[in-house]
Amino acid sequence: MITKAVLPVAGLGTRFLPASKAIPKEMLPIIDKPLVQYAVEEAIEIGIKDIIFITSPEKDSIEKHFKKNNKIEKKLKQSGRDKYISKLNPKIFSDIQFHYLNQENQNGLGHAILQAEKLIGDESFAVLLPDDLFFSKKSCLSQLLEIYSNKKSSVIAVNKIDKENIHRYGVIKPGLVKDEVIQIDDIIEKPSATKAPSDMAVCGRYILSSKIFKHLKSTEFDKFGEIQLTDAIRSLLNDEKIFAKVYDGEKFDCGSKQGFVHATIALALRDETISDDIIKIIKEID
Ligand code: G1P
């Protein structure tokens, strides 16, 4: 059973300035829901009870967002707008513990995950990178959980990426494949296209054994002064098997403007309350 999830959200969001100056990038909405909430819902859906944000003091609006707001709930009731209450204070959040850990220096994804060590203890846990937004019948995390339940080992979501973009990701060297479960032989962070061991790139969902912390602690800073989670996973391979699954579904990279707009359009077209209007608007632009 996986009950804890870590969501790193301390990044500066420079690609979204000036929007991300006063509003954390993770709080920018795709239609009417902040980006980070999609990842939180995906985690809760598989039974996560503790959501651990690795955050920074400037991002207090994330904490505000996931707290119950009784004051506005009362106002909605008084004005007969009860139907909005489930959006304001979703029931699924009511038995979830939200934790906020400050990452004082932003020294990379591995450094961010390391902050959660005490709260995680010796359990396996999920990591969700909220920039990556996934849509599928069975969520990306539940696809990983299925494999974890069988193997009781770390498991990582990957997807196929073309050569021109492979240098932006962690890339696995696949080993044995059985029933669509890939045993990882090696993993490299952001290799050049010529050095990439495959076209299978790590996307933002992981289930990791708590042994990763030991490896994070001995991982050296890379040439950009960051501790990479991928390097620690590579070192963990010396201790235990790690598996990968080619994610079956749609993925939007909302860390880029193009991906963010793509996700917005795709979701708008699926939202019955606005899709007809959106189609009209897009046709008019044409
Ligand atoms: C991080 C990871 C990388 C992974 C990517 C997925 O990179 O370091 O291995 O492929 O997320 O989105 P970042 O996007 O933070 O540079």
- Distance (Å, whole) CA 9 – CA 6: 10
Q: Is 243 in the pocket of ligand 1 (CB under 6 A)?
A: no
- For helices 140-151 and 35-45, angle between their N-to-C axes, nearest 10 degrees: 30
Q: Is 202 in the pocket of ligand 1 (CB under 6 A)?
A: yes
Ligand 1 atom index nearest CA of 230: 9
**For position 105, what pLDDT does the model report?**
86
**For position 104, what pLDDT does the model report?**
87
**For position 154, what pLDDT does the model report?**
98
* Amino acid making up residue 282: I
Shortest CA distance to 246 belongs to which of 209, 203, 187?
203
Ligand 1 atom index nearest CA of 255: 14
- For helices 275-285 and 257-270, angle between their N-to-C axes, nearest 10 degrees: 130
- Give me the residue label for tokens 């902040």: 34
For the chain, the average pLDDT equals 96
In tens, the pLDDT along 85-110 reads 999 999 999 999 999 999 988 899 99
Task: Determine which residue's CA is closest to atom 5 belonging to ligand 1.
Answer: 169
In tens, the pLDDT along 182-207 reads 999 999 999 999 999 999 999 999 99
Ligand 1: centre distance to CA 131 (Å) = 10
Pocket test of ligand 1: the residue of 6, 109, 158, 173 to mutate, having most ligand atoms within 8 Å of its CB, is 109
For residues 220-233, give the mean pLDDT: 95
pTM over 0.75: yes
In tens, the pLDDT along 112-171 reads 999 999 999 999 999 999 999 999 999 999 999 999 999 999 999 999 999 999 999 999
Q: Is 204 in the pocket of ligand 1 (CB under 6 A)?
A: yes
Shortest CA distance to 41 belongs to which of 17, 83, 5, 75?
5
Full set of structural domains in the chain with CATH: 4-255 (3.90.550.10)
Q: Is 189 in the pocket of ligand 1 (CB under 6 A)?
A: yes
Task: Determine which residue's CA is closest to atom 7 belonging to ligand 1.
Answer: 169
Least confident residue range of 12-16, 30-34, 112-116: 12-16
Ligand 1: centre distance to CA 170 (Å) = 6
Strand spans (E) along the chain: 4-8, 29-30, 33-34, 50-55, 97-102, 125-128, 132-135, 154-160, 170-178, 181-189, 200-208, 242-246, 250-253
Residues with Cβ < 8 Å from 250, sequence gap 6 or more?
A: 134, 135, 136, 266
DSSP category for residue 117: H
Ligand 1 atom index nearest CA of 190: 9
